[in-house]
């Protein structure tokens, strides 16, 4: 019967997942062709980015073949920075939604797959002439009030905190508004192991729940008092979710603590693991794709780690001093959460913060103080003088926490970076941890033997995968407006790229580093022609000779005739700055393959492609198909 129940539950889950996949609906715009216009409604407030503002919208209808039809589909719209569309704005858009593209470089983050778990398959970049506001008609009044409340709360904090850096951290920590967090802040908090405080989630909701328990704990002595406490807790928690705009991470945490509050009010001998499972089931019933969310996975693993590991770790040492006891309690929480989540941290972020236990001694109490002060500023905003003083105190608290975080980041070896683990290796690490904890629980040696076998499997797979990954090759990347080439051998990469790209650590980290990690590259060196023996320039033509392969890089204006007779090479890379045509290339070189670089304009790429195909020459278009790897 249990087997039949499991199969039935699995079948119902699969059926629910199928119904939740909007792409299966025949009315979805994925299945429509010839769209010239569409009507969409904005479903999330805009996120201000470096050059654009991004809005999530829901398509309601579309025009194709001079006929309007009802449609379905979520889309990201990118407008000029400073655009002020609001939740519920209905707009008429000219043009067809563009399908999201898959990764253009090896091992690059699959943004298309990531958004498919949110039922988003399209995007479109719009200038002011490409859309027109029809009317304001919010599809959900409660959400509309939530976004208005968050905007009002954002204004209250902005009016009382003068420093931009401290303000952006306050908005992120109190309200979950992360638009203003720059790369320097994010890198510092990630390197010190404090990144979790910048995303409003379980820690923040737990602090709010703890504040309620501290203020109203005495009413729980009677049955009616317990239910009154549960009701008040749920109302306060969901009110907090309201002013954060019902962000997904807050909804997860509030749902979890709502289940805990009800279970506590029932005064039953409830199992916390059953409560967590019930909250996870409720969330997945609402959105089954949450199981693929990194935040969902890390949140529940962290809570499980804190619930199971922290009490056992804390019990290993019982201090007599009150202050030492509190420090040890926070340290135990940090170790428990980190131990439970570090396999996923390695898989998704390829790094590990070495001194997380130091930063958490400051950021966890600091988050408590900052969140309390931030909420007090919002609550007492109608008392100008009081709110002003609270705002100044809040600003100073954030400043002190920041200084500690930046100090920890500057400590040598504060972060282990460049760690690449596969999904299989991540599962093996998790199973090793689980087996060891089962051993400490039941004291049976067979779990140690299983853990040892898993360690052998992990080590063998690790050595084999690193050996296979480390090979000599040339990787030519697809990065808009930039030529980027890695010459790889023996765990070292010589990187050829333009000066602007070399200064852009964000693009290198996103587009290039994943391939280096998977290729077991331990060191990289930027190179320019003439600085190394294998890259030189002759009359504006860059020539590279790597492991017997000759690559010509046409990324400058060149003369009419380079050589008296054509030179034999293996590959020719055509870049945007090249000022000649295909005939010039044929007159100067004998080649095996032409490569169209990603720096080419739309017109250049398609012009060369058409001419090459007409001549019957071999070619590969990085512009159209993504990065190219030449292996040996």
pLDDT at 262: 84
For residue 268, the model assigns a pLDDT of: 62
End-to-end CA distance of the chain: 56
Helix (H) or strand (E) holding 63: strand 52-64
Whether residue 188 lies inside any domain: the answer is yes
Token readout for 451 is 């853990």
Work out how many domains the chain is built from and give that number: 4
205 and 109 in one domain?
no
Least confident span in 13-17, 204-208, 560-564: 560-564
∠ CA 579-580-581, nearest 5°, is: 135
Quickly state the pLDDT bin for 544 (edges 50, 70, 90): very high
Q: Mean pLDDT across the chain, nearest whole number?
A: 88
Asked if 259 and 282 touch (Cβ cutoff 8 Å), the reply is: yes
Residue-level pLDDT at 270: 65
Q: Which domain holds residue 48?
A: 22-139
Kindly report, residue by residue over 588-604, the tens digit of the pLDDT.
999 999 999 999 999 99
Based on the fold, state whether residues 203 and 223 are members of the same structural domain.
yes
Q: How confident is the model at residue 119 (pLDDT cuts 50, 70, 90)?
A: very high
Contact yes or no for 79/53 (Cβ under 8 A): yes
pTM score, whole prediction: 0.86
Q: Are residues 365 and 304 in the same domain?
A: yes
Is the pLDDT score of 254 beyond 80? yes
User: Which distant-in-sequence residues (6+ apart) come within 8 Å of 479 by Cβ?
Assistant: 105, 501, 507, 511, 512, 598
Whether 546 and 526 share a structural domain: yes
pLDDT given for residue 2 in this prediction: 66
Residues 302 and 336 in one domain: yes
* Rounded percentage of the chain residues whose pLDDT exceeds 70: 99
Reported as a pLDDT band with limits 50, 70 and 90, residue 59 is: very high
Q: Are residues 296 and 404 in the same domain?
A: yes
- pLDDT at residue 392, as a whole number: 93
Q: Is residue 79 part of a domain?
A: yes
Here the tokens at position 151 are: 């905007």
**How many angstroms separate the CA atoms of 256 and 203, rounded?**
12
The neighbour count for residue 76, using CB atoms within 10 Å, is 21
Judge if 603 and 528 occupy the same domain. Answer: yes
Tell whether 443 and 544 lie within a shared domain: no
Q: How confident is the model at residue 247 (pLDDT cuts 50, 70, 90)?
A: confident
Q: Are 458 and 432 in contact (CB under 8 A)?
A: yes
Is pLDDT at 551 greater than 80 in this prediction?
Answer: yes
**Mean pLDDT value across residues 474-486:** 94
Residue 491 has pLDDT above 80, yes or no: yes
- Which residue among 397, 417, 437 closes a domain? 417
State pLDDT tens for residues 416-467.
888 888 899 999 999 999 999 889 888 889 999 999 999 999 999 888 887 7
Q: Check: CB of residue 46 under 8 Å from CB of residue 89.
A: no
DSSP string, 264-282: HHTT----HHHHHHHHHHH
Is residue 37 over pLDDT 90? yes
- Domain end, chosen from 417, 432, 452, is at 417
- pLDDT band at residue 125, thresholds of 50, 70 and 90? very high
Do 374 and 406 have their domain in common? Answer: yes
Q: Is residue 6 part of a domain?
A: no
Does some domain include residue 17? Answer: no
């Amino acid at each position: 019967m249990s087997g039949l129940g499991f199969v039935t539950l699995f079948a119902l889950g699969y059926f629910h997942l199928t119904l939740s996949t909007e792409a299966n609906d025949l009315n979805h715009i994925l299945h429509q062709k010839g769209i010239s216009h569409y009507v969409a409604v904005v479903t999330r407030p805009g996120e201000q980015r470096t050059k654009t503002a991004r809005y999530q919208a829901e398509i309601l209808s579309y025009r194709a073949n001079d006929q309007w039809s009802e449609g379905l589909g979520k889309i990201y719209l990118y407008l000029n920075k400073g655009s002020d569309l609001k939740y519920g704005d209905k707009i008429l858009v000219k043009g067809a939604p563009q399908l999201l593209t898959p990764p253009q470089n090896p091992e690059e983050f699959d943004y298309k797959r990531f958004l498919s778990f949110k039922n988003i398959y399209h995007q479109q970049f719009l200038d002011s002439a490409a859309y027109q506001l029809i009317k304001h008609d919010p599809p959900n009044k409660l959400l509309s009030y939530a976004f208005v409340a968050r905007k009002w709360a954002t204004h209250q904090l902005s009016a009382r905190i003068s420093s931009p850096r401290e303000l952006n951290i306050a908005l992120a920590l109190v309200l979950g508004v992360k638009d203003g967090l720059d790369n320097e802040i994010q890198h510092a908090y990630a390197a010190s192991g404090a990144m979790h405080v910048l995303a409003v989630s379980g820690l923040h909701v737990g602090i709010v729940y703890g504040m309620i328990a501290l203020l109203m704990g005495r009413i729980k002595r009677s049955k009616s008092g317990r239910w009154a406490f549960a009701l008040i807790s749920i109302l306060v928690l969901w009110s907090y979710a309201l002013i954060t705009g019902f962000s997904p991470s807050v909804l997860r945490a509030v749902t979890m603590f709502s289940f805990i509050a009800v279970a506590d009010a029932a005064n039953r001998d409830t199992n916390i693991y059953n409560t967590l499972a019930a909250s996870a089931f409720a969330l997945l019933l609402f959105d089954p794709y949450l199981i693929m969310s990194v935040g969902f996975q890390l949140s529940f693993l962290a809570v499980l780690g804190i619930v199971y590991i922290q009490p056992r770790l804390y019990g290993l040492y019982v201090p007599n001093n009150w202050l030492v006891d509190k420090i040890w309690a926070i340290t135990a929480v940090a170790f428990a959460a980190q131990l439970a989540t570090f396999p996923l941290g390695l898989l998704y972020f390829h790094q590990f913060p070495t001194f997380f236990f130091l930063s958490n001694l400051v950021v966890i109490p600091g988050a408590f103080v900052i969140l309390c002060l931030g909420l007090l500023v919002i609550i007492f905003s109608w008392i100008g003088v009081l709110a002003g003083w609270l705002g100044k105190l809040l600003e100073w608290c954030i400043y002190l926490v920041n200084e500690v975080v930046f100090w920890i980041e500057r400590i040598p070896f504060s972060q282990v970076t460049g760690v690449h683990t596969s999904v299989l290796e991540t599962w093996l690490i998790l199973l090793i941890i689980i087996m060891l904890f089962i051993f400490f629980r039941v004291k049976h040696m067979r779990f140690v033997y299983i853990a040892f076998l898993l360690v052998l499997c992990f080590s063998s797979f690790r050595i084999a995968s690193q050996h296979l990954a480390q090979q000599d090759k040339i990787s030519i990347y697809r990065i808009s407006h930039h030529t980027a080439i890695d010459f790889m051998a023996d765990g070292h990469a010589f990187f050829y790229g333009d000066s602007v790209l070399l200064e852009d650590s964000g693009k290198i980290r996103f587009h290039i580093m994943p391939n280096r990690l998977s290729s077991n590259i331990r060191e990289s060196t930027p190179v320019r022609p003439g600085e190394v023996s294998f890259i030189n320039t002759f009359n504006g033509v860059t020539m590279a000779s790597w492991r017997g392969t000759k690559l010509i890089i046409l990324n400058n204006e060149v003369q009419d005739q380079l050589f008296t007779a054509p030179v034999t090479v293996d590959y020719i890379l055509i870049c945007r700055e090249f000022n000649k045509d295909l005939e010039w290339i044929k007159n100067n070189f004998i080649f095996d393959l032409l490569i169209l670089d990603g720096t080419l304009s739309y017109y250049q790429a398609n012009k060369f492609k058409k001419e090459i195909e007409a001549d019957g020459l071999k070619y590969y278009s990085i512009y159209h198909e993504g990065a190219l790897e030449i292996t040996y």
